Amino acid sequence: MSKLVHVAVGVVLRSDGKVLIARRPDHLHMGGRWEFPGGKVEAGETVQQALTRELHEEVAIEVKGLRPLTEIRHEYPEKTVLLDTWWVTEFEGEAHGREGQEIAWVDLSALGEYQFPDANQAIIEAIQADWPA
């Protein structure tokens, strides 16, 4: 049985309707691909606490509003990831890659132009199905 990694994922929605994506560092699993920012849920943390912490650490924003989007379990050969995915509906700060990673604000229609890890395809489908009108 492969290791289960619980990950808090944020779909950060800007007022102009664009969402934030970040490029994974080359040395990581699925390196060089784009992803929605977030990170592992640590022992003793709620998903919301983990997501707030990770978005502050990675992209320098302060989360002010969250709404659940979807939960996805995806099996890779070496591990299983549980992607606990939330809309970030309100935030403060100007996003930038605090860990040296490239970031981009993209339209929903442009997400298909970026290469994401396999597990993220279900997130993109959930975004399209739940897109705020």
Residue 1: predicted pLDDT = 56
Q: Is 23 annotated as a binding residue?
A: no
Which band of pLDDT confidence, cut at 50, 70 and 90, is reported for residue 20? very high
Which band of pLDDT confidence, cut at 50, 70 and 90, is reported for residue 25? confident
In this structure, of 19-33, 49-63, 79-93, 98-112, the range with the lowest mean pLDDT score is 19-33
DSSP, collapsed to helix, strand or coil, labels residue 95 as coil
Q: Is 58 annotated as a binding residue?
A: yes
Question: Alpha carbon of 7 to those of 41, 49, 70: distances in Å?
Answer: 6, 12, 12
User: The pTM is what?
Assistant: 0.90
Question: Is 3-130 in CATH node 3.90.79.10?
Answer: yes
Q: Is 78 annotated as a binding residue?
A: no
**Residues 6 or more apart from 69 whose CB is under 8 A from it?**
11, 85, 86, 87, 123, 126, 127, 130
Q: Is 93 annotated as a binding residue?
A: no
Chain-centre distance of CA 87, in angstroms?
9
Q: Is 38 annotated as a binding residue?
A: yes
Q: Is 24 annotated as a binding residue?
A: yes
